[in-house]
Amino acid sequence: MAAPLGARVRAFAVALVALAAATSAVLWGGGATGAGGSAGARDWGVDLGIGDGAGEGRGGGAGVGEGRGGGIDDGAGSGADTGGVSGIDIGTGGALGDIGAGAGSGSGVGVGVAPVEPDVSFWVDPDSGAARQAAEWRRAGRVADALLMDRIASRAQAEWLAGPAPRAVVEARTTAAAREGRTAVLVAYYIPHRDCGSHSDGGARSATEYREWIDEFAVGLGERGAYVIVEPDAVAQAIAGCDRVAPAERYALLAYAVDRLERQPNTRVYLDAGNSAWHPDPHRLVGPLTRAGVARADGFALNVSNFQTDAASSTYGSELSGALGGKHFVIDSSRNGNGPHTGTESWCNPPGRALGVAPTTVTGAPLIDAYLWVKRPGESDGICRGGPPAGQWWPSYALELARNARG
């Protein structure tokens, strides 16, 4: 009797991996996984998603795995394996294509299992700091470092709107994403007295200026799709007692932002709720988030620019969600691959950190709408540990994050 089809596909995958070991790095190099790959092994573009659920892969492909793991993904393809039935898909972008969801951009060969939940394909900026750095290092002959930098450059990262006149940038990013059939991820970061005078000081000079800024942001969105994270740290900071912040005014401004942005079709709005280590009891955020309009948002965001594990954020978020009537949430997984630093200033350019789960909406958890790279990996948290000012590109730190990534 012939072996079951699933076993034959698994054997084929193992054979391909063996082939990879004997093949020149030129063939396999440069491969961060595409959207159909798992969040597990990514080294040299070989992604064998033999996992059984959220433990090994949260990418979009059913592939070789038994759960949500990806398949074999050369990483240079379009990563458009988003739906359909599991199968062998010869991708458009690489020498070996990938084994992932059968409805990808290549010629899918279905194997007759249940359809896989489609992923949202987030827009990848081709001119990000990581992309420019990878290109520079290739020109300089630093090929190995460039390949590591591709692990960041090939992933969708949020665009932070942190200065005046946001409309043009919002419009440009959402238009570029729409042209590719993708979704932009944006951060509204202009609340008065943001960061309470610390590393990321700035923002609007008055409540009136902030409302006008939000109006302009919303006009830039138009009817194009976007995920918008509203004001990282704003609620948690007000609870912590920043003496520059009048909580009632801040919550009113946040509620205005939520309501105005939610009026834009195809926009999903997530109000920031800090992280699981800042206010360990999530019930402290219930009243403030409610006053800030979370009931009218699509949900809340956790771990933005922080390093708490997905497991910690999931537990924290689930408890907070229960107290908010079942609100959904998103998690920033950009730099939490090794969890939080245990030393001092654990939030500011901590050493030894790593990239986390790649951006995806296929999370395996009903309350978690997406894992996102909200903080752009490689951009400094501030002038600590030798870093440049907050938000500036820091290639050596980016390289460390990519080098420490698991797989």
Per DSSP, 228 falls in state E
How many helical (H) and strand (E) elements, i.e. helices and strands, does the chain have?
A: 11, 10
Of the residues 73, 81, 98, 381, which is catalytic?
381
CA–CA gap between residue 141 and residue 237 (Å, rounded): 45
Sheet holding 109-110, edge to edge: 98-101, 86-89, 109-110
The answer to whether residues 234 and 218 touch, using CB atoms and an 8 Å cutoff, is no
Tokens of 46: 């070989």
Question: Which amino acid makes up residue 256?
Answer: Y
In the block, tokens 């939080």 appear at 340
Catalytic residue among 47, 81, 125, 195: 195
Identify whether the C-beta of residue 14 lies closer than 8 Å to the C-beta of residue 60. no
Contacts of 206 (CB under 8 A, 6+ apart): 192
Beta-carbon-side half-sphere exposure of residue 127 (alpha carbons within 13 Å): 2
Give bridge partners of residue 360 from the DSSP assignment: 371
* In contact, 60 and 370? CB cutoff 8 Å: no
| Catalytic residue of the set 81, 233, 272, 369 | 233
Residue 233 is among the residues annotated as catalytic for this protein: yes
DSSP 8-state code for residue 102: T
Burial of 366 (0-12, 13-18, 19+ CB in 10 A): exposed
CB atoms within 10 A of CB 108: 21
CA distances from 195 to 201, 244, 374 (A): 5, 10, 17
381 among known catalytic residues: yes
Q: Which residue in this structure is represented by tokens 């909406």?
A: 361
Three-class DSSP category at 149? helix
207-221 and 247-262 helices, crossing angle to 10°: 20
Catalytic (active site) residue 332: no
What residues are labeled active site?
195, 233, 381
